[in-house]
Every structure is written in structure tokens, then in C-alpha cells.
Amino acid sequence: MNATLSEKGSRSTQRRVAFATIVGTTIEWYDFFIYATAAGLVFAHVFFAPAGESIGLLLAFASVGISFLFRPLGAFLAGHFGDKIGRRPMLVVTLVLMGASTTLIGVLPTYATAGILAPVMLLLLRILQGISAGGEWGGAVLMAVEHAPAGGRGRAGAFPQLGVPLGMLLASGVTAVMTGWIAPGEAFIEWGWRVPFLLSVVLIGVGYLVRRAVDESPVFEEIAAKKQQTKVPIAELFRKHWLLVLLAALVFAGNNAAGYMATGGFIPSYATGESVGLDRTDVLLAVTFAAATWFLFTLLSGVLADWIGRKRTYLIGFIAQALMVFPLFWLIDTGSLPLLYLALGLFTVGLGLSYGPQAAWYSEIFPASVRFSGVSISYALGAILGGAFAPTIAQALINSTGSSASVSLYLLGMTALSVTAVLMLRDRPGINLSINNQAEQEVGATVFDHRRAPAIERTPEFEETRV
């Protein structure tokens, strides 16, 4: 039987939402990753040169982490207004803020030109990037998941997650083109690094137009129609669900530490340094390849999350990640370019499997009235605990021990922390996300709840949407 017009319309809306969220998050994370890449390759020379090479590199990586400290502020603001005025307006605001900040970094004066004012302005713009990133993710995933059928939330939630590896692929790919062909050698340090930042002004226009065309989340429309917005969502979130926020943040910490340290700014810097000595462009192309494999396994994890559950998919991903934390550096330390590709490709298998299900699981464990605040703040706190200073910690460990094994141990510890948190959360695929189901959403999200988790009715409609 042919689908009804309403069903076709619903599917059409879901496709538009999926496209809009993946385009928006790709642009957002391109902006964010281009900074991390430039920090590892350039900023120690152009903004922190007086500190010397080693300390300058630490300061450059620390500037990457600074923005993470301001993610909770972005999450608080976007969560508060996203739960009160809607998901879509906050997506547009955060996207414009990120694009403007990134473009302005591309026109900053260097330390040689402006002195101490140059790194100060760089840090201020990085803080604005952090505020934007803290608010953007929650809105994107809720637009995707709340528009999706119950049995397809894992796949729908994977689309905004795909924006992260795509953003990294775009950032490392553009930088590789600049270092390898357009502005090789000293030209990249003199002016070439600015071009990827300036390109953001074009991308932001595309993202803005796409996102303006997307309908508001049906769950929020229902909340607004019934005038059931929470007056102070943040206060209610921490009063009732503080443990849930903590566990959700820890779930993300292990993945984020590995993602930012291994495929963000640290690996390009480490692999092109004296101990390994690979070519800058070759390493950036390897990171681009890793972003592609990360993309594929993130997409696969969304499908797996609908079939075997979010929790099992996470555990498989973290096991794969733990198995690779030592081989990652063993392979890189050989100085072989093919083995660098192998190392990064295998490592991103676990990264993808432990990232794709996050949107659906976060959305299902928080009640509708504080959902935007819950997912945004948990994500922001997890980023601080995980990726904020992972490159800085890794560089400090290398400086103090002289061995990459210390970095592997750090990653193993972060992975174990996340596995512990995963085991303490319940899987609730198919739970009704509507405000009408608020009472059931309030309980059952963690293993510590004194009341049993609400039973999920596996209706024929639910099973059909899993196909």
C-alpha cells in the first residue's frame, strides 16, 4: 500500500531535518577543528613565539582547551532559551556566532605585529567559539531525534553526529591543500593558515539558509501549545537530575578525549615533530582519511543503536577504542606513513561506534521539559572532562616522560571511566518523548533509581520503523 500524504510529508520533513542538521553541524565543527589544526601547526609560531617552541606549543594547545571551559555557558544559555522559545532559533544564533568568530580569527594580527594584544584577541574569539559549540549540539540533536519515529531515533540522531567527522575531514582537507599546494612551507605560516578561517564566511551563509527552512521540533511545538515551558529549566534540571547529568557527561568524556587528542591538534603536531618526522601535508591527509573512517562507523553505529540498543553499541565502541590506545602510538612511532593511516583508521572504529548513539540516548534519558538543557549541559561538561585539555595533557606527558605510552595510559583511563558510566545508565529505546509522557520520563534513567524503569511497549509501529 502506498504511503499516505501525511506519511510522505513526515518523511520529507525528516529528510530536510537530517540534511539541515548534518550541514549545520559540519559547518560548526569545521570552524572548531580548523582552530585545533592551526593550533598544532601554526599558532605557537605566530601568537606565542616569545614563549619558545615547547612552551609555545603548550600554550597553543591550552588555547584549544580554553573554549571548552565556556561551553557550559553556551549550553546554559541555549538550553534555557531552547526549552523556553524553541530549538530552531538557538541553532541559527549559535551557527552565526561560530562563523563570525572563526572568520575574525582569519584577520587577526600576529604577535610580531600587535604584541600581547594578538593572543588576547585570539583567546577572546576562541571563547566565543566555545560558547557557540556549547549551545549548538543540543539543538541539532533534538531537532533530529524529536522529528524521528521511535524505532529510527538512532539513525536520525547519527546525522548531526556525522557533522563532527565531516567537519574534521573538511578542516584537515582544506589545510592539507593549503600546506601542500597553495601555500607550502613558510608561506603557510606567513599567510596560508588564514584562508581556512576566512572560508567560514561562505559556509555560514549556506548553513543559515538551510536551517531557516527547517520546521520547529514537534515536541517543542506541543510544549508551547500547552504552555508547559519550564520557567527556569536549569534549576529544575540540577535539582531533579544532577546524577543523570554527571553520568551522561562521563559517558562522553572518554570518546571526546580520544577524538580531540588523537585526530585533532595533537597527532598532526606529534607526527610532524622531531621524534616521528613525517611531512605536514602527508599527516593532514592521513587525518582526513581517519575522519572518513570515523564518519562511516558513526553512521553504522546509528543503525546498530536501533537494532541492538544504545548501551550495547557504546560498549562495543569503547572496547574497540581501548584495544587501540597502545597500538595507535606504536604504529605512529615507526615513522611509516602507511602505518599512520592504519593506526588512525583502526582507532576511529571505536570513536565512531561510541559517538553515533549519543544523540538518541541523551534525548531518551532527559524529560521533555528540560531536555535541551540536559543534553546541552551534559555534552558541554563531558567535553571539559574529556577533550578540553587532552592535547595539552598529552603534550605535557610527552615532555615529562619522553614516552607515548604515558598518553596511551591516559586514554585507557578515560575510556574506563566512560565504560563505568555507560553501565550505570539504562537503555530506553522507543520511550515516548512527548510532554504527555513526562511522568514516565522522570524515572528509570539510571540503575540507581528506586523505581523501576518504565516498560517500553514494542508496538508493531515501533518495530516497523526499525526496518
Tens digit of pLDDT for each residue in 229-258? Answer: 778 889 999 999 999 999 999 999 999 999
CATH number where 241 lies: 1.20.1250.20
pLDDT, tens digit, 9 for 90 and up, residues 193-204: 999 999 999 877
Q: Is residue 86 part of a domain?
A: yes
Residue 51 inside a domain? The answer is: yes
**How many C-beta atoms surround the C-beta of residue 401 within 10 A?**
12
pLDDT of 209 higher than 70: yes
For 105-133, what is each residue's pLDDT tens digit? 999 999 999 999 999 999 999 999 999 98
Specify if 5 maps to a domain.
no
- 156 part of a folded domain: yes
Mean pLDDT (whole number) for 143-147: 92
- Does residue 107 lie within any of the structural domains? yes
Model pLDDT for residues 35-70, shown as the tens digit of each residue: 988 998 999 999 999 999 889 988 998 898 888 889
Structural domain that includes position 389: 12-465
Calculate mean pLDDT across residues 139-162: 93
Q: Is residue 7 a part of any domain in this protein?
A: no
Q: What pLDDT is recorded for position 444?
A: 80
Q: Is residue 3 part of a domain?
A: no
6 domain residue, yes or no: no
Q: Which residue type does 326 have? A: F
Split into its structural domains, the chain has a count of 1
Mean pLDDT over 297-307 rounds to 97
Give the lowest-confidence range in 76-85, 208-217, 234-243, 281-290: 208-217
- pLDDT category of residue 329 using cuts at 50, 70 and 90: very high
Question: What average pLDDT does range 457-462 have in this prediction?
Answer: 50
